[in-house]
Amino acid sequence: MEYTITDENNSEQLEENNELYEHFRFVADKGQALLRVDKFLMNRIENVSRNKIQQTAKAGNIHVNGTVVKQNYKVKPDDVVAVVFSYPPREIEIIPENIPLEIVYEDEDVIVINKQYNLVVHPGHGNYSGTLLNALAYYFQETSQQLENGFGYLAHRIDKDTTGLLLVAKTELAQAVLARQFFEHTIERKYQAIIWGSPKEENGTITGHIGRSLKNRKVMDVFADGSHGKEAITHYRVLEHFGYVTLVECQLETGRTHQIRAHMQHLGHPLFNDAWYGGDKILKGTSFTKYKQFIENCFKILPRHALHAKSLGFIHPTSGKQLFFDSDLPQDMQSLIEKWRNYTSSRNTEEI
């Protein structure tokens, strides 16, 4: 069986908003006649269906004057109407593909996956097959699960070469509930990364809007003055020093595309072997042949940027229970850390 998903947003817009939701706010005119809020929103938001609004209302994502309302609420003059929509999926054919998945948790509403390296989450330009959604379509087909769209709804995304925990909703209603949690920053997400150098502070917060680079559209830049992009906040703490590189934990308060990668580069500490953000060359240490060979061997051990989505916490969209999941670092990052530990303990003090 094949599935099709639709999209009213271009791919660049979807890539820029990694949180997969959109927030709208409207103020009703002073001459506004009484009108159901679902019709009010349909008149103001392009390509939104009544079913989408109904699911959004059920999830408690429509507010009028700061209060949650049902879809039949009558909008009055000067009412402030705010709504959080989960993004509609994209118009790409999803063909089930037998791609192994490590499932950490699953119930009728959500599924948590520990994503492997080199797996694109969502089909897009240049990656129309071999994605996580293709794998999910196959998995749900093989387990005879009748999902609304056949493959589930992404609650968020992580990069192709980032490993770790990823949350997928099985119903549009569950996705809408989770979208509100992402919007309100109540989802707990912690990553571990290996970065070049050592931050001046053992704990810190990186702020600065993140948006697509004005020079290279493939990467994101930090605009500290807020002139471009969207607000982004990353909290970090040092876990272990290795002389020329450092293991850090990053907790996301927002979820912009490439947030940790862009923020760490902005701080002066790109992720180890992050080719897009300058971490795939020697940034700290000597240029001696022996050290250069050591770094090249490290790059072979970890042929990607050193980033893992380690833990994930959220409120279950149906039961209301707080769920928390933690994952081990993948073997390539563990091997790299061990190699750096051995190097740090054995090198001559004069080399530091």
> Is the domain of 274 the same as that of 145?
no
Q: Which of 38, 159, 161, 221 is catalytic?
A: 159
Q: Could you tell me which of 99, 104, 105 has the C-alpha nearest to residue 117?
A: 99
What sign does the CA torsion over 117, 119, 122, 123 have? Answer: positive
pLDDT, tens only, 15-72: 434 567 888 999 999 999 999 999 999 999 887 888 889 889 999 999 999 999 999 9
Rounded to 10 deg, the angle between the 331-346 and 289-301 helix axes is: 160
> Is the domain of 163 the same as that of 202?
no
pLDDT, tens digit only, all 352 positions of the chain: 544 333 333 333 334 345 678 889 999 999 999 999 999 999 998 878 888 898 899 999 999 999 999 999 999 999 999 999 886 555 678 899 999 999 999 999 999 999 999 999 988 766 778 999 999 999 999 999 999 889 999 999 999 999 999 999 999 999 999 999 999 999 999 999 999 999 999 999 999 999 999 999 889 999 999 999 999 999 999 999 998 999 999 999 998 999 999 999 999 999 999 999 999 999 999 878 899 999 999 999 999 999 999 999 999 999 999 999 999 999 999 999 999 999 998 774 444 4
Domain residue limits at 29: 21-86
> Is the domain of 80 the same as that of 220?
no
Q: How many domains, in total, are found in the chain?
A: 3
Instruction: Quote the mean pLDDT of the chain.
Output: 90
pLDDT, tens only, 71-114: 999 999 999 999 998 865 556 788 999 999 999 999 999 999 99
* Cα distance from N-terminal residue to C-terminal residue, the chain: 59
Name the β-bridge partners of 115: 164
> Is the domain of 283 the same as that of 310?
yes
Rounded CA-CA distance 145/139 in Å is 9
With respect to residue 4, please indicate whether it lies within any of the assigned structural domains. no
> Is the domain of 121 the same as that of 261?
no
Rounded CA-CA distance 346/271 in Å is 24
Catalytic-residue membership of 159:
yes
